Amino acid sequence: MEPEHQEYKGHRIELRMREDDELRAREAEPEAARELLIDDEPVRYGQLPDGSYALHGYAYDWHDNLIDLAKRFIDYRDRVDEIRREAESRETT
């Protein structure tokens, strides 16, 4: 499987096969075959019984496509950052 990658709002999303050594060490986990990275940082995920995916740090949303789920996660992080900046600006005024 060739690595799949996309650019989204200035972030790089990549889905690729794990390295062989790492894969052998984690054979018991079914999702261990592919690795999701956002901006070259690994993002842990799992698969639900219905086949959809959920990110460990973002359990608010599920999707059957990891790339689409990563985009939603980026949108979520951007919104959280925006809310934090607004709150900090109110505290300083």
Q: How many angstroms separate the CA atoms of 92 and 53, rounded? A: 40
Extract the tokens encoding 42: 């690994």
Number of domains in the chain: 1
pLDDT at 92: 78
What confidence score (pLDDT) does residue 72 get?
Answer: 96
Tell me the whole-structure pTM to 2 decimals.
0.78
The per-residue pLDDT for range 17-76, each reduced to its tens digit, is 877 645 554 554 545 578 999 999 999 999 999 999 999 988 889 999 999 999 999 999
- What CATH number does residue 31 fall under? 3.30.1880.10
Q: Find out whether 54 and 66 touch, Cβ atoms under 8 Å.
A: no
Place of tokens 């607004």: 86
User: CA 67, 33, 13: angle at the middle one, nearest 5?
Assistant: 25
Range of the domain at 55: 4-92
